Every structure is written in C-alpha cells, then in structure tokens.
C-alpha cells in the first residue's frame, strides 16, 4: 500500500498541471467547478504525499485510511462540480444548481460541506502544520458561539452549523479569493519555476553570482545573497529558496571561515527577501491583484516592488561585506571547491572562482533570459499574468531544445510537473483553509469591527498604527506561509492604514513585507529552521542571526509608507516626478548604508559602540523623516555626521588587518 502512493503522485500531478494550463487559458467550466477540481487534485496529492504522522508512514491501517480520505476528497469536491455544471443538470438536487440553492440547500449539501471542511483541515495540518488549522477552528467556533463572547472579543448573534457550512464551503469561503489566486496565478509560476530548474537555470544563477564577486572578501556569502535573490524571483518561497540554494552556498560559506549559524542566517535572510524580487515574486503579489482597491495591474506591482527589492539586497550585501571585513577579511582561494550535482545525480567539484576552469553555462543563461524577457514583454503588451507565464513556459520548452544540456525531454516534462505538484499542493491546502477563515470573516463582519477598534488607538499617530500592524503581522506569520499571512492581515486590519490616509498599494506592500519577514523572526522562523538543518547549527542561534542580518527589512516598510515615491507612487495618486523618486531613493540608500554599518560594526575598521549608535540613529532619521524642504536640514546634518565617521575611520584604518574568526 505504501509503495503504491508515490507512484500515483506523478499521474495526478500531471493531470493537475495540464488542467490548470488548459482551464486558465481556455476556460470551459464555471469558476466554482474549476476551483473545486483544482482543490480536489491538490488534496489528493497531499494525502498521497503526507502520512497521518511521519512515524506512521509504514502503518497499513493508516495507509488504508489515506485512500479512504482520498475517496472522500473525490466525493466532496466532485459533488460540487456535479451540482454546479449544466452538463450534469439531471443530477441537480431540487432541480436547481448549487449556487441557486443558497438559503434553501438540500440536507445532503450540508453533510458534503461538513465532510469537505474536515478534509481541508486535515490536509492543511499534514502539509504545513497545525497552526493554520487551529486558527481556522478558532474562527469556526467564533462563528458558532459569538453570542456568548464578552464585548472586547467582537460578539455577534451566533450562527447555526448549517449557515456556517453554507458560507465557508458551499457558497464562497473555500472557493473564494485565496484559492482563485492560487489557481489563476501562483501554481502556474510554480510550474514555470520547476521547468526553468530542469533546464539548469539554478546552476546558471549561482555560477553567474560567483563570477560577479570573484575573489572579493566574503564572496561565498555575496553569492548566497544574489543567488538567493534571483532564485527567489523564480520560486517566491523562502523555505524552498533556502533549501535549493542553501545546499550549495552554506557549505561554501563555512569553508572560508563563516560560523555555521552565520552561514545559515545569511542564507535564510537572503532567501526570505526573494518573494519581493520582480518579475515573479511571491503569491501575495498576485493576491494584490484581487484585493487592492482601486485595482492595480501586475506591471504596477512589479514597478512598486523594484526599488524596495534593490534596497533590501543592497543592505544585505553591505552587511555581509562589512561583517566579512570585520571578522574574516580573507578572499576565496581559486582552488577552493564547491560540490554540485550534475544532471546524472553524481557529485562534482567545481573551482569556485578559478576562471580558467569555470565556464558559465551559456545555454542555460539563454533559456533563463529568454523566459525572463518574454514574461516582461508580454506583460508590457497588456496580457494577463497567467497568459504571460503560459507563453514564457512555451518559450522555455522551445529554446531548451537547441542544446543537450538544457533539453527537457518528455520524461523531464513529466518530472517538472511532478515537482510542481510536490511544491504547490501545500499552498492549495493552505489557500482552501484560509478560505474557511475568510468565509467566517464575511459571515460575522469581524473584518470591519477590528479596524474600528484599532483606529482610535493610532488615529493621530501613523507610526504607532504601523507599529501595531507590524506586530500583528509578525505574530500571525509565525508558522504560516507569508502569502497566507498577507491575505489574512490585508483583509482583517489593512483598512486601518487606508483610513489613516496611506496610499493603498503602499499599505498592502507594508503588510506583504512583514509577512515575508516572519520567515526569519524568532521563535518561529521557518526559513532559518531550514538553513539550520543544512548548516548543522543551532536552530535558535541561526534564527536570531537571520533576524539580525534581515533587520533592514523591518525598517524599509516604514520608509516606503512614509515615502510612497519609493514605490513609484505619489501621495495624491498617480506617478511622481522622476527627480522626486531619485531624491527619496538617495536618502533611503544613505540610511541603508549607515544601517548596515551599524549592524555589522564596521566602517573601514571596527567601530565603537557609540559610533554604531550614531549610525543606527542616523539610519532611523533617514528612513522615518519625510522628505520635506523644511526638514532637509535634518537629513543634511545626519549625512555629514556619518560621512565624517567613515572618513575618520578610513584615515585611521590599519594597513594590515589581523584576521580572526
């Protein structure tokens, strides 16, 4: 029984991918039917892949139970399709389709809906952990017993089980915005990433980053930063990014003197920012297309994400450079090696920076950039993101045919689809579970009640409102995928920022950013946990190290809320003048440099505690002080003070720096 399950994942994953490609581009089914089939295939893979408990993977009874649950998934979600699609009209109960039976459902509808909710909760528990299912259960209990709650817990009149099932499963909820975004956008980009990986794009990105940094101080850490940023643009997942690039970069960092927890922390911090890197970004970017009002285009989201991504990775590169200068100050030797895996699965060793032996995989680069520019070009032509990524996927397959090392082949196509199934089904389960929560939010109206409580606390202080929202997002993001965290916070408390006059897209980017940073925020820092496993370092030490290296990510969101010009937005709406964008970018970039120096404790030489404090305060002033002519003197004095510290340390730097680790 156990041996059968892995062999079934491939055909189900292939069917899932083909169904999405066809239905998204050439829809034939009603929206709820398409989402029901999408969820059905995804949950089938979940129950095939994830056992009831890891220690029970070989238990015969548990494996039989998994197939029973798979049968339940097919029945529950297939029931929604049959009761919705006109081709099955003769099977409709009460001679009406499911959407027309609101408030007059058949008793069987409730049994199927209740069973479907249980399956979703269990699939989510297996695939991403207990946090999100517990949160969904709390919301379900809130909907049922709201009349018994005290005034400070947003009481309501309470709803029957039938009404809750109707709202969360039968009519909306599960088949709402969260699952629709996964179906329309996210899974296609996951598939796109797996095909690029099959062609060797991962190897090209890492080799390109290694070639750029050569033998500079701490070059393996810089390779990790740039490689993880570029890989993050393909995957959008901090954990997957850490697992992919960390396998190469963490051992390489350790080989030149980085401590295990430092190597793991750098990789986790670099991978967590990948969801912000255009053009692919994370799932939350596509959710903005459905949530932000007034509506925005995908190109506007890409444009808004560009400067924050540059600032984040610039800060991370500077922190890594300063840290390496301060604690290692050695260069990577040309004879150091890095273990890679060739296409046959055999281990190889390549010279890290020996340009006489290392060659960039040119054809893999051609495939990567052909796909990249095709995606951008089709978006610029006005196509939807799913149409653009579909064409880009076709370009990948065509261009890869011209060289043996990039050629995917029929078996490679099936393998890429299987990998997409493995990577994407946890998101399908999570999105379905989030749909349960959103159904309760809509039913009870708690989404409009919460902002009314938070708004008076900060109606005269925008920074306080931002701080409260940051804490809420980080707490909620513990143990949740960043996209799930963004979706919940955007609906629950996002209106608080809008009521305070923040530009809508800037408000959503603020939430998105802190959902992303929750991946490196202790005590639950999933990207840091993954890096710690690879680095063989302590989990908490790695988590706190990742938090320290990613600290700039906790300051930048304030900067682009207070200065929407960094997102190519103006406070009045529309696009700001180009010179205003550059002025704001200059001051924020200066603050980034000073912040990096403060965190690393280095400015041409080790700096004292008071110098670090000055740098930190200067960065805060440059980040949080509006770019106003009346306040420009603050920026000027701050800049001069920090430049003087840098100049003084440069004049008094040691000619030969004693190496120590």
Beta partners for 217?
331
pLDDT over 50 (residue 594)? yes
Q: Which residue has the tokens 């039989």?
A: 64
- Number of helices (H) and strands (E), helices first, in the chain? 28, 2
Q: Give the model's pLDDT for residue 328.
A: 65
Tell how strand 347-351 and strand 337-341 pair up: antiparallel
Beta partners for 331?
217
CA dihedral 84→86→91→92, nearest 10 degrees, is 50
Q: Give the model's pLDDT for residue 479.
A: 55
For 23, phi then psi, to 5°, come to -75, -35
In whole angstroms, give the CA distance from residue 233 to residue 231. 5
In whole angstroms, give the CA distance from residue 608 to residue 597. 11
Give how many domains the chain has, as a whole number: 2
pLDDT band, very low/low/confident/very high, at 164 (cuts 50, 70, 90): very high
pLDDT band, very low/low/confident/very high, at 636 (cuts 50, 70, 90): confident
Residue 105 within a domain: yes
3-state secondary structure 544-593: HHHHHHCHHHHCHHHHHHHCHHHHCCCCCCCCCCHHHHHHHHHHHHHHHH
* Conformational region of residue 501, where left means phi above 0, alpha means psi within -120 to 50, and beta covers everything else: left
Q: What is the mean pLDDT of residues 374-385?
A: 79
In whole angstroms, give the CA distance from residue 513 to residue 517. 6
| C-alpha torsion sign, points 85, 88, 89, 92 | negative
19-23, 182-186, 263-267, 626-630: least confident range:
626-630
Q: Give the model's pLDDT for residue 329.
A: 53
| Domain boundary pick from 134, 155, 183 | 134
For 546, phi then psi, to 5°, come to -60, -40
End-to-end CA distance of the chain: 52
378-387, 479-488, 633-642: least confident range:
479-488
In whole angstroms, give the CA distance from residue 178 to residue 634. 44
Q: Give the model's pLDDT for residue 336.
A: 42
| Domain boundary pick from 134, 153, 180 | 134
Cβ atoms of 503 and 288 within 8 Å: the answer is: no
Q: Give the model's pLDDT for residue 660.
A: 35
Report long-range pairs for 95-98 (Cβ below 8 Å, ≥24 apart): 98/32, 98/170, 98/171
Residue 325 within a domain: no
Cβ atoms of 287 and 483 within 8 Å: the answer is: yes
358-367, 390-399, 633-642, 652-661: least confident range:
652-661
Of 535 and 38, which is predicted with more confidence?
38
Q: Give the model's pLDDT for residue 355.
A: 40
pLDDT over 60 (residue 135)? yes
- Tokens in use for 430? 């999570």
Q: Give the model's pLDDT for residue 480.
A: 65
Q: Which helix (H) or strand (E) holds 348?
A: strand 347-351
Query: What residue numbers bound the domain in which 613 lies?
Result: 591-661
pLDDT band, very low/low/confident/very high, at 571 (cuts 50, 70, 90): confident
Of 481 and 48, which is predicted with more confidence?
48
pLDDT band, very low/low/confident/very high, at 17 (cuts 50, 70, 90): very high
pLDDT band, very low/low/confident/very high, at 184 (cuts 50, 70, 90): confident
This model's pTM is above 0.75:
no
Q: Give the model's pLDDT for residue 234.
A: 60
pLDDT tens, position by position, 81-131 = 999 999 999 999 988 999 898 888 899 999 999 999 999 999 999 988 888
pLDDT band, very low/low/confident/very high, at 369 (cuts 50, 70, 90): confident
Cβ atoms of 278 and 309 within 8 Å: the answer is: yes
pLDDT over 90 (residue 19)? yes
Of 101 and 356, which is predicted with more confidence?
101
Of 216 and 149, which is predicted with more confidence?
149
pLDDT tens, position by position, 118-130 = 999 999 999 888 8
| Domain boundary pick from 134, 156, 188 | 134
pLDDT tens, position by position, 402-412 = 888 888 888 99
pLDDT band, very low/low/confident/very high, at 9 (cuts 50, 70, 90): very high
pLDDT over 60 (residue 139)? yes
Angle between helices 362-380 and 385-399 (to 10 degrees): 150
Query: By percentage, how much of the chain surpasses pLDDT 70?
Result: 86
Cβ atoms of 545 and 521 within 8 Å: the answer is: no
Residue 451 within a domain: no
Q: Give the model's pLDDT for residue 478.
A: 61
Cβ atoms of 93 and 399 within 8 Å: the answer is: no
Q: Where are the beta strands (DSSP E) in 8-97?
A: none
- SS3 category, 109: helix
User: How far out from the chain centre does Cα 106 lie?
Assistant: 40
Computed over every residue of the chain, the mean pLDDT equals 82
In whole angstroms, give the CA distance from residue 463 to residue 489. 18
For 419, phi then psi, to 5°, come to -65, -40
């Amino acid at each position: 029984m156990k041996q059968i399950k892995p062999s079934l994942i491939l055909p189900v994953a292939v069917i899932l991918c083909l169904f999405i490609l066809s239905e998204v581009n050439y829809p034939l089914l009603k929206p709820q039917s398409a989402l029901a089939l999408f969820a059905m295939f995804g949950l089938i893979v979940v129950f095939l892949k994830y056992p009831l408990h890891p220690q029970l993977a070989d238990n015969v009874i548990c494996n039989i139970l998994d197939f029973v649950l798979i049968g339940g998934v097919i029945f529950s979600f297939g029931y929604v399709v049959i009761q919705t699609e006109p081709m099955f009209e003769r099977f409709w109960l009460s001679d009406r389709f499911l959407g027309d039976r609101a408030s007059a459902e058949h008793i069987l509808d409730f049994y199927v809906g209740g069973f479907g909710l249980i399956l979703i909760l269990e699939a989510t528990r297996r695939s991403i952990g207990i946090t999100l299912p517990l949160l969904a259960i709390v919301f379900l209990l809130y909907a049922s017993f709201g009349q018994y709650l005290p005034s400070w817990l947003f009481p309501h009149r309470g709803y029957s089980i039938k009404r809750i099932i109707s709202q969360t499963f039968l009519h909306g909820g599960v088949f709402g915005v969260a699952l629709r975004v996964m179906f329309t956008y996210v899974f296609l980009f996951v598939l796109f990433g797996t095909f690029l990986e099959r062609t060797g794009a991962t190897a090209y990105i890492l080799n390109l980053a290694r070639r750029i940094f050569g033998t500079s101080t701490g070059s393996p850490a810089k390779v990790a930063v740039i490689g993880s940023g570029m890989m993050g643009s393909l995957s959008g997942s901090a954990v997957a990014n850490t697992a992919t690039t960390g396998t190469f970069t963490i051992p390489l960092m350790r080989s030149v003197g980085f401590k295990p927890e430092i190597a793991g922390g750098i990789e986790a911090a670099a991978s967590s920012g990948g969801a912000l890197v255009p053009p692919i970004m994370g799932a939350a970017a596509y959710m903005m297309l459905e949530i932000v009002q007034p509506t925005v285009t995908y190109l506007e989201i890409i444009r808004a994400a560009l400067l924050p991504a540059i600032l984040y990775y610039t800060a991370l590169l500077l922190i890594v450079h300063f840290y390496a200068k301060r604690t290692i100050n050695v260069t990577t030797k040309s004879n150091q090696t890095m273990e890679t895996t060739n296409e046959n699965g055999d281990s190889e060793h390549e010279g890290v920076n020996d340009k006489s032996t290392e060659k960039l995989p040119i054809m893999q680069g051609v495939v990567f950039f052909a796909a990249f520019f095709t995606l951008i070009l089709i978006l610029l032509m006005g196509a939807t993101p799913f149409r653009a990524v579909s064409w880009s996927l076709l370009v990948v397959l065509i261009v890869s045919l011209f060289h043996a090392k990039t050629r995917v082949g029929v078996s490679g196509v099936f393998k890429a689809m299987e990998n997409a199934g493995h990577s994407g089904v946890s998101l399908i389960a999570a999105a379905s579970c989030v749909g349960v929560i959103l159904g309760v939010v809509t039913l009870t109206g708690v989404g409009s009640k919460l902002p009314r409580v938070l708004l008076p606390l900060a109606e005269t202080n925008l920074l306080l409102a931002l701080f409260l929202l940051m804490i809420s997002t980080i707490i909620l993001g513990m143990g949740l995928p960043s996209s799930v965290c963004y979706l919940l916070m955007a609906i629950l408390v996002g209106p608080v920022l809008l009521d305070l006059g923040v530009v809508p897209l800037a408000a959503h980017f603020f939430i998105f950013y802190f959902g992303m940073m929750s991946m490196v925020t202790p005590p639950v820092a999933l990207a840091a946990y993954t890096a710690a496993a690879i680095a063989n370092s302590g989990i908490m030490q790695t988590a706190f190290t990742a938090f320290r290296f990613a600290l700039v990510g906790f300051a930048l969101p304030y900067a682009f809320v207070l200065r929407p010009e960094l997102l190519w937005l103006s406070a009045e709406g529309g696009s700001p003048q180009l010179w205003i964008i550059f002025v704001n970018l200059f001051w924020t970039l200066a603050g980034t440099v000073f912040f990096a120096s403060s965190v690393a404790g280095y400015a041409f030489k080790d700096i004292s505690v008071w110098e670090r404090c000055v740098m930190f305060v200067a960065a805060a002033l440059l980040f949080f002080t509006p770019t106003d002519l009346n306040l420009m003197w603050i920026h000027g004095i701050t800049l001069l003070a920090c430049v003087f510290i840098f100049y003084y340390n440069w004049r008094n730097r040691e000619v030969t720096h004693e190496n120590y680790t």
